[in-house]
Amino acid sequence: MKHQELIQVLHNCAAYCQRCANECLGEEDVKKMVNCIRNDRECAELCLTAASLLAMDASHAREVVQLCAKACRACAEECGKHDDEHCKDCAKACRECAEACARF
């Protein structure tokens, strides 16, 4: 399949973002995690959308992939502010995804 490697990176990032958001919801002080959760959710949705558009070789895939890179960078920055392991894992996945999207 065309763009299979990038599609896999996007799916991986979405999974880490979904896990991070879920774990953040279980934090004792969930209010301090609101921005993290919002970034996680937005990034995951954009990653899944970009992956779907790439899979169908859509005409607007490139623009969505570039937007996804931006969301991944923002999510990595936010998750990087927290010491939780799930946030660190998510930030790493987001940085890798942003780099892969930028190369597209």
Q: What is the pLDDT tens value at each position of the chain, 104 positions in all?
A: 789 999 999 999 999 999 999 999 999 999 999 999 999 999 999 999 999 999 999 999 999 999 999 999 999 999 999 999 999 999 999 999 999 999 99
Q: 37 near 82, Cβ under 8 Å?
A: no
Number of other CB atoms surrounding residue 23 within 10 Å: 19
DSSP string spanning 47-83? HHHHHHHHHTT-TTHHHHHHHHHHHHHHHHHHHTT--
Q: 28 near 101, Cβ under 8 Å?
A: no
Residue 66 tokens, joined: 């570039």
- How confident is the model at residue 31, as a pLDDT? 94
- How confident is the model at residue 19, as a pLDDT? 98
pTM (predicted TM-score): 0.96
Which CATH architecture describes the domain 4-103?
Up-down Bundle (1.20)
- How confident is the model at residue 2, as a pLDDT? 82
- How confident is the model at residue 56, as a pLDDT? 96
Half-sphere exposure of 61 (CA within 13 A, CB side): 18
- How confident is the model at residue 78, as a pLDDT? 97
User: What residue segments make up the domains of the chain, in order of their start?
Assistant: 4-103
